[in-house]
């Protein structure tokens, strides 16, 4: 196969795009996809301050580098979860990456805030990943709002989005289906959230990270159950193999026809939000779920100690 741009031998084959690219042209394809996502979905402009959530994995670092190279005003935000061994390594990768590219980075430490994830694992009965995810989303939003950022960008790729959409569809979870998409508009207490990599697959993002020489944190989290959409991703991998382009079509069709219908349904049932009495984040209860979890862990630890 030859590179569709320059006719040199292709390095990466992309059946869903009926094309292939050489090493030099592939990053241009990647850039184009990100540009298209930002422009068509009106994600942000060059005047906006963009906070980028950085886990240390390939997707978030690839996104940060690409937005920086395109000239956007980006700041990285890493949440140090306080998980022994794992969190130090992830943080180091993010810090090294930002140093290397001269990028501004903010680090938020869960341990200093009073609730490292090992405490969640030890004291909360719910699955640790559900609580960890909730905590991360809470702090991403809070820090973006408090820092006056216009938008929060995350490295979710097409595979992540399709797997999540599929899981939401299997449950016909109308609340999640009404919200899912590459852009979640700003609302009272919530910053706008965007996913500029939603047109690119995990394979395509990994290729970009590799070609750009990005050093990523690839060790799995020691608390990962392995269940997080892995089965759905495998299923979709099979469908995509049989019929290249299926994933993108499924997602795009949902955005066009499914999402507006679910959004209209939810509009009628949506809860009203007010600031949390503890932290000020928007919530439908008096205190938000994150503050309630933190208080419950504090109580449980006190009980154990005394």
User: Is the CB of 68 or the CB of 136 nearer to ligand Q46?
Assistant: 136
221 binds ligand Q46 (CB under 6 A): yes
61 burial via Cβ count (<10 Å: 0-12, 13-18, 19+): buried
Binding mask 45-84 for ligand Q46 (x = CB under 6 A): ------------------------------------x---
Residue 133 binds which one of Zn ion, ligand Q46, none, with CB within 5 to 8 A depending on kind?
Answer: ligand Q46
Stretch that binds ligand Q46, among 20-28, 108-116, 126-134, 138-146 (CB under 6 A): 126-134
User: Is the CB of 66 or the CB of 80 nearer to ligand Q46?
Assistant: 80
In the complex, the smallest distance separating the C-beta of residue 77 from ligand Q46, rounded to whole angstroms, is: 15
Q: Which residues from 258-277 bind Zn ion, rule CB under 5 A?
A: 276
**Strand positions, DSSP E, the chain:** 12-14, 19-21, 49-53, 73-80, 104-109, 151-153, 183-184, 192-194, 274-275, 282-283
Q: Which residues from 201-230 bind Zn ion, rule CB under 5 A?
A: none
Per-residue exposure over 9-42, b if at least 16 CB sit within 10 Å of its own CB, e if not: ebbbebebeebbbbeebbbebbeebbeebbeebe
User: Is the CB of 133 or the CB of 231 nearer to ligand Q46?
Assistant: 133
Is-contact 204 32, C-beta < 8 A?
no
Which single residue is written with the structure tokens 């009628």?
268
In the complex, the smallest distance separating the C-beta of residue 93 from Zn ion, rounded to whole angstroms, is: 30
Stretch that binds Zn ion, among 5-13, 67-75, 76-84, 278-286 (CB under 5 A): 278-286
Q: Is 75 strand, coil or helix?
A: strand
Distance CA 39, CA 50 (A): 15
Taking CB under 5 A as the criterion, the residue among 131, 132, 291, 297 binding Zn ion is 291
Report the C-alpha dihedral over residues 278, 284, 286, 291, rounded to 10 degrees: -40
Taking CB under 6 A as the criterion, the residue among 4, 107, 111, 129 binding ligand Q46 is 129
Residue 205 binds which one of ligand Q46, Zn ion, none, with CB within 5 to 8 A depending on kind?
Answer: none
152 binds ligand Q46 (CB under 6 A): no
110 binds ligand Q46 (CB under 6 A): no
Q: Where are the alpha helices (DSSP H) in 171-245?
A: 174-179, 202-211, 230-242
Residue 293 binds which one of Zn ion, ligand Q46, none, with CB within 5 to 8 A depending on kind?
Answer: none
Of residues 48, 61, 142, the one with CA closest to residue 105: 61
| Secondary element (H or E) of residue 191 | none
Taking CB under 5 A as the criterion, the residue among 278, 282, 298, 300 binding Zn ion is 278
Report the C-alpha dihedral over residues 139, 145, 146, 148, rounded to 10 degrees: 140
Distance from chain centroid for Cα 286: 28
By rule CB under 6 A, what count of residues binds ligand Q46? 9
Stretch that binds ligand Q46, among 65-73, 125-133, 249-257, 292-300 (CB under 6 A): 125-133
User: Is the CB of 113 or the CB of 210 nearer to Zn ion?
Assistant: 113
Contacts with ligand Q46, residue ranges (CB under 6 A): 81, 117, 128-129, 132-133, 221, 223-224
Instruction: List residues binding Zn ion (CB under 5 A).
Output: 276, 278-279, 281, 288, 291
């Amino acid at each position: 196969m030859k590179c569709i741009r320059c006719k040199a031998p292709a390095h990466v084959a992309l059946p869903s795009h009926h094309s292939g690219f050489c090493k030099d042209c592939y990053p241009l394809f990647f850039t184009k996809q990100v540009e298209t996502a930002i422009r068509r979905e009106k994600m942000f402009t060059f005047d906006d301050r963009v906070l980028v959530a950085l886990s240390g994995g390939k997707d978030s670092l690839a996104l940060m580098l690409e937005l920086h190279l395109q000239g956007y005003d980006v700041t990285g935000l890493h949440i140090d979860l306080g998980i022994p061994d794992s969190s130090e390594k992830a943080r180091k990768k993010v810090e090294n990456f930002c140093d290397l590219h001269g990028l501004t980075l903010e680090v938020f430490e869960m341990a200093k805030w009073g609730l490292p994830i090992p405490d969640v694992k030890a004291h909360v009965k719910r699955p640790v990943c559900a609580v960890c995810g909730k905590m991360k989303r809470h702090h991403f939003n809070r820090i973006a709002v408090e820092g006056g950022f216009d938008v929060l960008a995350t490295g979710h790729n097409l595979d992540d989005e399709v797997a999540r959409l599929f899981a939401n569809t299997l449950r016909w979870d109308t609340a999640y289906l009404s919200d899912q998409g590459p852009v979640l508009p700003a609302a009272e207490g919530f910053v706008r959230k965007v996913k500029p990599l939603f047109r690119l697959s995990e394979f395509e993002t990994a290729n970009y990270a590799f070609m750009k020489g990005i050093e990523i944190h690839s060790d799995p989290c020691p608390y990962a159950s392995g269940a997080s959409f892995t089965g759905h991703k495998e299923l979709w991998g099979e469908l995509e193999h049989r019929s290249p382009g299926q994933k993108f079509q499924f997602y795009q069709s949902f955005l066009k026809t499914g999402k507006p219908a679910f959004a209209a349904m939810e509009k009628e049932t949506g809860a009203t939000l007010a600031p949390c009495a503890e932290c000020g984040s928007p919530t439908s209860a008096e205190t938000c779920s994150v503050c309630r979890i933190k208080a419950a862990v504090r109580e449980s630890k006190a009980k154990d100690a005394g």
